[in-house]
A = this chain, B = another copy of it.
């Protein structure tokens, strides 16, 4: 595929060398790598996301509380069809339909179940904002940091480690809450299964979960106590998940 026809994958850069950090864009990177679709990454700082999406024709993901459109990454643009798509579940659907001869993200009959899984997991099982927001703030490039700080401060008051990051008993309590919400997900699965559909079938749902699991590994670092703890939760299933998917971690 020539550089002009290769699929474009839009992601948010950071100061971490060689590491992609955004949980949402990871879902799409995993999909692209798993399907073996050639692509190139285009790195876009936070303040440039909306204008980039508008320029390439990618729809907003949702609407902000003030009624204006919210543009987010991941986005892909596929020169072979001329189509630009935002939002990781819509991207997964597009890739599945446009590249039917690549490995399946949705085994037959599971699309609706996986859509429900996505909504349930994203809405109710991601209780870690006060831990990760200050960590993200530390790794962003200056332009993205200023944008992120202004936006997230509206929701969280402050995004600084000394203000938002939980301490003492609060840290213990909130860390346990995070663990417990993932414990519910673990309870849905058989103890011996690594993937949502078993041990041999990888699906989009696994990339959704893995996007959020790989996040703390990048933010705290592989050798941190925090990551080691998370990787050990619920019989070590989260560490095992990332390990089993490591062949799809390539960043290009």
Chain A interface residues toward B at CB < 8 A: 107-117, 119-121, 123-124, 184-185, 187-190, 193, 196-198, 201, 205
Contacts and interface: CB of A to CB of B under 8 A. Distances in A.
Given A109-B197, A110-B110, A115-B188, 10 more contacts: A111-B188, A112-B185, A112-B189, A112-B193, A113-B113, A113-B117, A116-B188, A117-B117, A120-B120, A123-B124
> Which interface residue of A119, A193, A197 has the most chain B CB atoms within 10 A?
A119
Given A123-B124, A124-B123, A197 B116 contact: no
Contacts of A119: 120, 124, 184
Contacts of A123: 120, 124
Nearest to A112: B188
A120 B114 CA distance: 11
Contacts of A184: 119
5 contacts: A108-B198, A109-B198, A110-B113, A111-B188, A116-B116
Contacts of A189: 111-112
A207 to B, nearest CB: 14
A100 to B, nearest CB: 15
A210 to B, nearest CB: 14
Given A117-B117, A120-B120, A109 B107 contact: yes
A12 to B, nearest CB: 27
Contacts of A116: 113, 116-117, 120-121, 185, 188
Contacts of A190: 111-112
B201 A109 contact: yes
Contacts of A110: 110, 113, 197
Contacts of A107: 109
A180 to B, nearest CB: 14
